[in-house]
Structure 1
Amino acid sequence: MSVAPDTMRAMVLTGHGGLDKYEFRTDWPTPSPAPNQVLIRVHACGLNNTDVNTRSGWYSKAVSEATTGGAYQTISDEDPTWGGAPISFPRIQGADICGTVVACGATADPSLIGKRVIADCWLRDWSDPDAIDIPGYFGSECNGGFADYAVIDHRNVAAIDSSLSDAELATLSCSYTTAENLLNRAGVGAADTVLITGASGGVGGALVQLANRRGARTIAMASAAKHGDVARLGPFAIIDRAPEDLKAVLKEATGHETVTVVADIVGGPYWPKLIDVLARGGRYATSGAIAGPMVALDLRTLYLRDLSFFGSTATSSRVFPDLVGYIERGEVKPLLAQTFPLAKLPLAQETFIAKKHFGNIAVTMGEG
């Protein structure tokens, strides 16, 4: 007897462009697991900037403006995705899944059947799982979780023992592995003071929690309207997202004009001020540039102050298992702002792009 129907509901991306490129289907073929894959009945799937940027083509070098979520007039056909290469359409996006394993391929782990799982988003070469030249991302280079069912390599999933809801769990994997990997790259420890941009968003909120977990002193940057929400994360201090005199604001908040680490997901025209508050020997790490990818750097600042810069995308194979442990021990908490039914994904993404929420947004697979 089949464990899944032949067809399913899916939100299908038909090409690069605006939100009109999404098509809700109720007759999409249900995938079958390959020998090393599991079939997951998806309960919820979180939204992330990767979905927006891939749809719009923002990753293309032909685009130099901030992330808007709208269609760009010109993108290159050669590099419109995070991996710098084209993807095929139609494509089901969605990386952050929480669901139940209902079937497995011939060589996949059968003990996963019936387990509630979350997924590591990176499609690894399992003969060399820490290779940086990785083949893809779930929901980008292969179909993802904005559907009733999804398939993924059994080594990419972990059974999760948690009282958190499906939607809450669906906000964690992408944002928190991104944040943990960034902190690993920058070598953040208890001796550090970390300035965190975009602290009210999914990755920013994760950075505050995970840096706190390491014993670091965290300085969260967020708009004034969100300071009350950000305070729930327990940062050492909260400051405005773009103060004119950043050094003076830091001095007032912490007693020092400089920090040892900047953990940045924003970029844009404010970027030089972030670099100027790094102490000698300080580290800058980035995993995003939602305010714009083009920045101005005085190379003298970089070399005369012995600064180190880190880009962070591909996560090590230890990051996801570590995150599962943090979740199960209650060392991090989800920041679920709102849920939408799958059929309302375009509205959910429009809400996500507006950035008026705190934390993250998920779609759920209930009817409606």
Structure 2
Amino acid sequence: MDMPETMRAVRIAAHGGPEVLEPAEVAVPAARTGEVLVQVGAVALNNTDLWTREGAYGRPGAPEAQSGWRGPIDFPRIQGADVAGRVVAVGAGADESLIGRRVVVDPAIYDSAGPDANPVGLMGSERDGGYAEYVTALAERVHDVTDSPLTDDQLASLPTAYGTALGMIERGRLREGETVLVSGASGGVGVALVQLARARGARVIAISSGSKIDSVREAGAHEVLDRARGIVEQVGTVAPEGIDVALDVVAGDLVADGLPLLREGGRWVIAGALGGYRTTFDVRRLYLHNAQVIGSAMHTPAHFELLMKLARRAEIDPVIAATFALDQAAQAQEELARRNHVGKIVLRP
């Protein structure tokens, strides 16, 4: 196909509020050696978008410093980690048979080759992302999902939310028959955790609030606790024997309050800090019970490959809360920040 020379995109030129999201006409990026060019069908929003825009990640030794996902951002930056679309061109050395294929892009930038590499960068923060009509990606990071019955909106919902959730579940070694506590269960990662943990055969106890409780139950939670009431007391009622694994995107006081709920050998996995990044807890609850606190950032290539197998077979059913046009990116991010929705918010370039 004849490629246009320019495309619509939404970029940030500085950290700040939604007003720093600027629609722009920019050059269509060229696929370099080993890369492909993807025409974006849908791009999903994540808390990562908000925190990168705000510069809210801090840096080692400087928790209040403005920073992207893993360090200073090279402005201007096109946001958006989660892309589903079609490959329309390939660079030197890339597989030409990918042209025309429907793909999901793994947004992680890894520290090494191999299936267990650690993510040290993210599309939309450390390289340009999918708030655009086209985006480049390494050929080895695009996954062919042409035959998946999921829509582009649903496929775009997978990389960060479901990738993060699967990374948490794998690093927490969740097994069939175990009891799992999921915090922030109405958010993108939370819904993914509920669905994936349920599919693994765990008993899922989710934490949500108010009007979202029924939706979280519909997503597959066996029990839903109201976060406005005492979590420890509620867990004591529905799981008096305790929990095996906590999958936590809230952190803050929940860690201190919740660690004593872990059974012997329990694992508390943290992948977010919606409730605050500082916490204090009694270390005796760790070593006396062989418990573990595990940090989990996104996924490995092996985790993402497993996620794509689930997507091809539609063994997961991503929930779409709302869709917006590309030039409505600021409104979409404001909607995300209000947290009144259940599931994923998607832009359609």
The two structures have a TM-score, normalised by structure 1, of: 0.90
The answer (yes or no) to whether the contact 2:163–2:298 under 8 Å persists in 1 is no
What amino acid sits opposite 2:39 in the alignment? R
Q: 1:125 to 1:105 in 2, by over 3 A?
A: farther
* Matched residue, 1:299: 283
Give, as a single letter, the amino acid of the residue that structure 2 aligns with 1:131.
A
Counterpart of 1:159 in structure 2 is: 144
Matched residue, 2:201: 215
Instruction: Find the aligned partners of 1:108 and 1:3 in 2 and give their Cα distance.
Output: 19
Q: Distance in 2 between matches of 1:180 and 1:131?
A: 15
Within 5 Å, give how 1:267-346 maps onto structure 2: 267-346=251-330
Q: Which residue type is aligned with residue 269 of structure 2?
A: A
1:82 to 69, 74, 88: 69
In structure 2, the residue matched to 1:70 is: none
Question: Alpha carbon RMSD of aligned pairs, Å?
Answer: 1.7
Deviation at 1:222, TM superposition (A): 0.5
Shift of 1:103: 0.3
1:48 aligned partner: 46
Q: Secondary structure at the match of 1:274?
A: helix
Q: What residue identity is the alignment partner of 2:305? A: P
| Residue 67 (structure 1) aligns with | none
Deviation track 1:37-88 (CA, whole Å, cap 9, x = no partner) reads 0001101100011111111111115887xxxxxxxxxx425xx1222x2120
Structure 2 partner of 1:243: 229
1:141 aligned to 2:141?
A: no
> Secondary structure of the equivalent of 1:310?
strand
Residues 69, 126 of structure 2: 8 Å contact kept: no
Structure 2: segments with no counterpart, 5+ residues:
none
Deviation for aligned residue 1:101: 0.5
Mapped to 2, the partners of 1:115 and 1:127 lie a distance apart of 24
Shift of 1:20: 1.5
- Report if the CA contact (8 A) 1:185-1:310 is conserved: yes
Give the residue type in structure 2 aligned to 1:260: D
Shift of 1:126: 6.0
Asked if 1:17 corresponds to 2:1, the answer is no
Equivalenced residues, count: 347
Among candidates 216, 220, 225, match of residue 234 of structure 1? 220
Letter in 2 for 1:3: D
- The aligned counterpart of 2:104 is 118
Q: Give the CA deviation at 1:269.
A: 2.8
Cα deviation, 1:80-139, whole Å, max 9, x if unaligned, reads: 1222x212000001011011100001111111100111111112356445333x452111
Does residue 201 (structure 1) correspond to residue 199 (structure 2)? The answer is no
Change (3 A) 1:264 1:193: same
Query: Is the counterpart of residue 107 in structure 1 residue 93 in structure 2?
Result: yes
Residue identity opposite 1:149 in structure 2: Y
Aligned amino acid, residue 31 of structure 2: P
Aligned residue for 1:358? Answer: 342
Asked if 2 retains the 8 angstrom alpha-carbon contact of 1:247 and 1:258, the reply is no
1:279/1:129 CA distance change after superposition, 3 Å: closer
Instruction: Summarize deviations over 1:208-250 as a string: whole Å, max 9, x none.
Output: 1111111111101100211111111122211112432x34312
Give me the whole-angstrom Cα distance separating, in 1, the residues matched to 2:62 and 2:328. 28
2:26 aligns to what?
A: 28
Residues 248, 257 of structure 1: 8 Å contact kept: no
Closer, same or farther in 2 for the Cα pair 1:268/1:63, shift >3 Å?
farther
Deviation at 1:168, TM superposition (A): 1.8
Secondary structure of the 1:270 match is helix
Give the share of equivalent positions with the same residue, in percent.
39
Distance 2:242 2:115 in 1: 37
After superposition, the Cα gap between the structure-2 partners of 1:19 and 1:258, relative to the gap in structure 1 and judged at 3 Å, is same
Q: Does the aligned pair in 2 maintain the 1:265–1:288 contact within 8 Å?
A: yes
User: SS where residue 318 of structure 1 aligns?
Assistant: helix
Change (3 A) 1:91 1:129: farther
| Alignment partner, residue 72 of structure 1 | none
1:296 and 1:225 map into 2 onto residues whose CA distance is 31
Distance 1:22 1:204, change over 3 A: same
In structure 1, list runs of 5 or more residues that go unmatched.
Answer: 65-74
Mean Cα deviation higher: 113-122 or 270-279: 270-279
**Counterpart amino acid of 2:65?**
S
The structural deviation recorded for 1:29 is: 0.8
- Aligned equivalents of 1:135 and 1:327: distance in 2? 24
